[in-house]
């Protein structure tokens, strides 16, 4: 970590007792409660928390972007360089926005006006706020583009947003934020929509800008690892309040608040030995409509007592603050609790064997998208294969073809002595019972018009697994128990449940068919960290209990490491490396795997394998993939020969295969 700025220096941005309320026809939501924090020059301050904790709303309030007084009210103080602007009339506030305080939003694909050139959008705030003519603004915009790492800025100035990739658009948004030399920038989940390699590029850029220009940056995120890697100070939010704050080292190494500690232990971490089970926080984050009175975390807290019924006052020590009646006193264990997480399993048999799976999409004018090209892997009986890769790598297409939601162009997939890809109609129905799916988004994977009971019972009755309604009802109850839901849930509709509960119903529906293999398509990526751990433990328990095999698709390497026995890494439609978990995470061989691992933000200070392992540039189009090795255009090790042949897999062990000629 770089030298921290003098803590005594006057803060640039100072938020004091900020409260925000939303009111609709029938509800009053007090979403942000007495939030206070400071941002100093050249400092990167993180606001971290799960969904609904009020982190985004508080920053919109700081920007004064919540402006409809009929639905929103706020109170408190927000000082920018000593001056409170929370009460300024909008006409004066507008002069501050974009000039002294700027914002970077989450969704780069939608935060630029599609009908205006990128250049004009960067020049807009300058022409509005600075005494500057068009030519000078243009000069400066070109300069800014260069600074945020856009190559050929002169030409790209006159292009439209749709000609930019997501990562490049986020760079443009950052250039807009920088355009008037603001004192403070608020970045609301700036990389959540981006792939991990692009995320690393963007955050490295932001951090460099902060250190170079002395701007203060508020980084809003749900990702603790990002905080560890990039922030100087951190504020942990829960139930609308900041419950703990301090320097990153202090808070992450020695959390005081029970919630912070629980959250840190619930995250699967690449820098620690793998624990067999993740630590979980029971229950779910409170919805803003029903923040518990007193300490909002108390209903989920193991240490809660009667005292927690009132709001804990801040305990302030030199450089820290936390609000907890029963603070953690120990240093957080740096090893997983069950550090001896058992030896690696060895698997004898294979449940699903995929060979040469290929899927091409034919577009108009003879264009072909090679979504999946010659993919092979084996899923061990009773084990988990993790299929990992960034967006556009083809992992979703692999899943859809294996489930026969799409047809494959060629290849085979043997399951119980039968090729899934060529199975006839009748065989397919039988296969479908044995291969079940858990989907990514629990909000769309359950029919909104059916009750949980009917969602779970319908397949049982259709396939004759239960002969009568009564039998089905008993089985539904049993299934709900299996996934840890109370039987009353059967009467609910999906929208009356939380995301985690819906995901449990999705798992129960799959289990109802007594499958041998469950395809988990990013089952935890839409969930909050504390819920994610619960679901991953549930999946592991079910596997041990029922002898299930999993095909686990994910983009989060830490999650993949936690849950998989064997891992296949995909890039641009091809599998570049397959290995056991131990092999892949201790001795990654393929340069792409290594770059991917290096890009994952890690809790360990100065982790990462240095800049040389990071990949630069962007994913090539699958319409026109590079010849030979598809990774060569971004590979630090590429040589001429890489362009000539598609690298055949090289075996390093029985289980470790790498498709690269340079290893």
Partner 1 sequence: MLQFIGRRLLLALPTLLGVATLTFFMLHVLPGDLVETMLRAEGGNPSVELVAAERARLGLDQPLIVQYFEFLKGLAVLDLGQSHWTGKPVAEEIFSRLPVTLEVAALSMIVAIALAIPLGTIAGMYPGSTVDYAIRSFAIAGIALPSFWFGMVVALAMLWYFNWLPPLGTASLFKNPLTALQQLILPAIAVGYRYSAILIRMMRSSVIETMHEDFVRTARAKGLAMRTIIRRHVIPNSLLPTITMIGLEFALLVGSLVVIEQVFSLNGIGRLFIESVSRSDFIVIQGIVMVLTLIFIAVNFLVDLAYAVIDPRIQLG
Partner 2 sequence: MRKSSAATELWTTLPKPRGPVMKHILGQPLGALGLVLIVLGFVVAFAAPWIAPYDPLATDYGNAIAPPSFAHWMGTDSFGRDLLSRILFGGRTAFLIGVSASFIGCTIGLFVGITSAYAGGWVDAIVERFMEILLAIPITVLALVLVSSLGRNMVYGVDLNLVFAIALPIIPKMARVARSQALTIRNLSYIDAAVTLGFSDLRIIVRHMAPNIFGPYIVMLTAFISQAILIEASLSYLGLGVAEPTPSWGLMLAGNAFNTSMTAPWIVIYPGLAIALVVFAFSMFGDALRDVFDPKARADR
Residues that bind partner 2 (CB under 8 A): 19, 21, 23-28, 30, 64, 67-70, 72-75, 86-91, 93, 403, 405, 428-429, 432-433, 435-437, 439-441, 444-449, 458-459, 462-463, 506, 509, 513
Question: What is the rounded end-to-end Cα distance, in angstroms, of the chain?
Answer: 33
Name the minimum Å distance from CB 394 to partner 2: 18
The sign one gets for the Cα dihedral 223, 228, 231, 234 is positive
SS (H, E, C) 184-253: EEEEECCCCCCCHHHHHHHHHHHHHHHHHHCCEEEEEECCHHHHHHHCCEEEEEECCEEEEEEEHHHHHH
Q: Which residues of 380-406 are buried (b: 16+ CB within 10 A; e: fewer)?
A: bbbbbbbbbbbebbbbbbbbbbbbbeb
616 binds, among partner 2, partner 1, none (CB under 5 to 8 A by kind): none
Our CB check for partner 1 shows the closer of 127 and 465 to be 127
Chain-centre distance for alpha carbon 411: 32
Name the minimum Å distance from CB 432 to partner 2: 4
Contact 416, 434 (CB under 8 A): yes
Spatial distance between the Cα atoms of 16 and 34, rounded to a whole number of angstroms: 7
Tally of CA atoms within 13 A in the half-sphere of 206 that contains its CB:
37
Our CB check for partner 2 shows the closer of 325 and 439 to be 439
By CB under 8 A, name the one of 94, 146, 360, 412 that touches partner 1: 94
Q: What strands lie across the sheet with 72-80, from one edge to the other?
A: 28-39, 13-23, 72-80, 83-84
Our CB check for partner 2 shows the closer of 30 and 253 to be 30
555 binds, among partner 2, partner 1, none (CB under 5 to 8 A by kind): none
Name the minimum Å distance from CB 125 to partner 1: 4
By CB under 8 A, name the one of 40, 55, 97, 258 that touches partner 1: 97
3-state percent breakdown (helix, strand, coil) of the chain, nearest 5? 35, 20, 45
Tell me which residues in 49-88 interact with partner 1 (CB under 8 A). 63, 65
Our CB check for partner 2 shows the closer of 426 and 545 to be 426
**Residue 107 in the binding site for partner 1 (CB under 8 A):** yes
Our CB check for partner 1 shows the closer of 109 and 637 to be 109
663 binds, among partner 2, partner 1, none (CB under 5 to 8 A by kind): none
Tell me which residues in 171-190 interact with partner 1 (CB under 8 A). 173, 176
Our CB check for partner 1 shows the closer of 99 and 662 to be 99
**Residue 95 in the binding site for partner 1 (CB under 8 A):** yes
447 binds, among partner 2, partner 1, none (CB under 5 to 8 A by kind): partner 2
User: Any idea what DSSP says for residue 438?
Assistant: E
Our CB check for partner 1 shows the closer of 133 and 488 to be 133
The contact mask relative to partner 1 for 541-580 (x = CB under 8 A, - = no) is: ----------------------------------------
The contact mask relative to partner 1 for 618-647 (x = CB under 8 A, - = no) is: ------------------------------
Our CB check for partner 2 shows the closer of 58 and 440 to be 440
472 binds, among partner 2, partner 1, none (CB under 5 to 8 A by kind): none
Interface region with partner 1, contact rule CB under 8 A, candidates 1-9, 122-130, 299-307, 518-526 = 122-130
Task: Give the H or E element holding residue 561.
Answer: helix 557-563
**Residue 102 in the binding site for partner 1 (CB under 8 A):** yes
**Ramachandran quadrant class, 461 (left: phi over 0; alpha: psi -120 to 50; beta: rest):** alpha
By CB under 8 A, name the one of 15, 61, 103, 243 that touches partner 1: 103
Contact 104, 186 (CB under 8 A): yes
Helix (H, G, I), strand (E, B) or coil at 5: coil
Tell me which residues in 144-163 interact with partner 1 (CB under 8 A). 160, 162
Q: Rg of the chain over CA atoms, in angstroms?
A: 26
24 binds, among partner 1, partner 2, none (CB under 5 to 8 A by kind): partner 2
Q: Which residues of 212-229 are buried (b: 16+ CB within 10 A; e: fewer)?
A: eeebbbbbbbbbbbbbbb
Spatial distance between the Cα atoms of 10 and 83, rounded to a whole number of angstroms: 12
By CB under 8 A, name the one of 24, 69, 82, 115 that touches partner 1: 115
Our CB check for partner 1 shows the closer of 110 and 496 to be 110
Our CB check for partner 1 shows the closer of 42 and 98 to be 98
Our CB check for partner 1 shows the closer of 113 and 391 to be 113
Burial of 448 (0-12, 13-18, 19+ CB in 10 A): exposed
Extended strands (E) in 107-203 = 184-188
**Longest pairwise C-alpha distance within the chain:** 79
Kind of pairing between the strands at 101-104 and 184-188: parallel
User: Any idea what DSSP says for residue 97?
Assistant: B
Our CB check for partner 2 shows the closer of 379 and 584 to be 379
Of 352, 351, 343, 305, nearest to 324 (Cα)? 305
**Residue 124 in the binding site for partner 1 (CB under 8 A):** yes
Name the minimum Å distance from CB 406 to partner 2: 10
Tell me which residues in 343-362 interact with partner 1 (CB under 8 A). none
Our CB check for partner 2 shows the closer of 87 and 154 to be 87
For 429, phi then psi, to 5°, come to -60, -40
The neighbour count for residue 107, using CB atoms within 10 Å, is: 16
The neighbour count for residue 294, using CB atoms within 10 Å, is: 18
Contact 373, 312 (CB under 8 A): no
Residues at the interface with partner 1 (CB under 8 A):
63, 65, 94-99, 102-103, 105, 107, 110-116, 124-125, 128-129, 160, 162, 173, 176
């Amino acid at each position: 970590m770089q030298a921290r700025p003098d803590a005594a220096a006057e803060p640039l941005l100072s938020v004091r007792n900020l409260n925000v309320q939303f009111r609709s026809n029938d509800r009053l939501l007090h979403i942000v409660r007495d939030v206070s924090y400071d941002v100093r020059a050249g400092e990167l301050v993180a606001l971290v928390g799960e969904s609904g904790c009020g982190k985004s709303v508080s920053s919109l309030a700081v920007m004064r972007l919540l402006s409809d007084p009929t639905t929103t009210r706020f109170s408190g103080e927000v000082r920018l360089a000593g001056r409170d602007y929370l009460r300024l009339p909008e006409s004066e506030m507008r002069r501050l926005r974009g000039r002294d305080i700027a914002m970077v939003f989450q969704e780069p694909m939608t935060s630029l006006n599609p009908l205006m050139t990128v250049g004009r959008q960067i020049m807009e705030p300058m022409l509005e706020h600075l005494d500057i003519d068009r030519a000078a603004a243009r000069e400066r915009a070109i300069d800014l583009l260069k600074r945020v790492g856009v190559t050929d800025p002169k030409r790209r100035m006159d292009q439209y947003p749709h000609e930019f990739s997501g990562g490049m658009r986020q760079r443009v948004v950052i250039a807009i934020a920088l355009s008037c030399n603001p004192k403070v920038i608020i970045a609301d989940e700036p990389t959540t929509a981006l792939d991990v390699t692009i995320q690393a590029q963007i955050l490295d850029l932001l951090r460099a800008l902060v250190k170079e220009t002395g701007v203060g940056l508020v980084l809003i995120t749900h990702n603790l690892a990002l905080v560890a890697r990039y922030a100087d100070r951190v504020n942990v939010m829960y139930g609308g309040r900041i419950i703990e704050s301090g320097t990153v080292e202090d808070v992450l190494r020695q959390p005081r608040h029970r919630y912070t500690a629980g959250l840190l232990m619930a995250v699967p971490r690449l820098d620690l030995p793998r624990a067999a089970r993740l630590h979980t926080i029971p229950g779910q984050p409170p919805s803003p409509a029903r923040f518990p009175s007193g300490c909002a975390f108390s209903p989920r807290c193991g240490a809660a007592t009667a005292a927690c019924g009132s709001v804990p006052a801040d305990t302030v020590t030199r450089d820290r603050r936390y609000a907890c009646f029963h603070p953690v006193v120990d240093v957080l264990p740096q090893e997983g609790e069950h550090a001896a997480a058992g030896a690696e399993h060895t698997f004898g048999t294979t449940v699903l064997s995929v060979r040469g799976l290929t899927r091409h999409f034919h577009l108009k004018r003879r264009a072909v998208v090679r979504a999946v090209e010659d993919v092979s892997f084996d899923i061990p009986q009773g084990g988990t294969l993790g299929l990992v890769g960034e967006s556009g790598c083809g992992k979703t297409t692999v899943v859809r073809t294996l489930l026969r939601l799409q047809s494959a162009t060629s290849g085979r997939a043997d399951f119980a002595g039968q090729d899934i890809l060529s199975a006839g109609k009748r065989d397919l129905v039988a296969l479908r019972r044995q291969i079940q799916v858990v989907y990514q988004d629990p909000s769309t994977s359950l029919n909104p018009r059916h009750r949980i009971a009917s969602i779970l019972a319908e397949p049982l009755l259709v396939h004759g697994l239960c002969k009568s309604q009564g039998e089905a009802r008993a089985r539904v109850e049993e299934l709900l128990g299996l996934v840890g839901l109370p039987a009353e849930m059967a009467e609910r509709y999906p929208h009356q449940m939380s995301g985690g509960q819906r995901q449990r119903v999705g798992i129960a529906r799959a289990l109802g068919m007594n499958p041998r293999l469950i395809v988990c398509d990013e089952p935890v990526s839409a969930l909050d960290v504390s819920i994610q751990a619960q679901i991953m433990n549930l999946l592991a328990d079910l596997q041990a209990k029922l002898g299930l095999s999993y095909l686990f698709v994910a983009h989060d390497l830490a999650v993949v490491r936690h849950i998989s026995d064997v891992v296949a890494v995909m890039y641009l439609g091809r599998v570049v490396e397959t290995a056991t978990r131990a092999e892949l995470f201790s001795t990654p061989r393929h340069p792409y795997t290594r770059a991917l691992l290096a890009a994952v933000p890690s809790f360990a200070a100065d982790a990462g394998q240095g800049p040389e392992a990071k990949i630069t540039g962007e994913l090539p189009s699958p319409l026109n993939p590079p010849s030979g090795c598809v990774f060569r255009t971004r590979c630090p090790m590429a040589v001429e020969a890489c362009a000539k042949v598609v690298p055949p897999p090289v075996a390093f062990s029985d289980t470790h295969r790498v498709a690269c000629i340079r290893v």
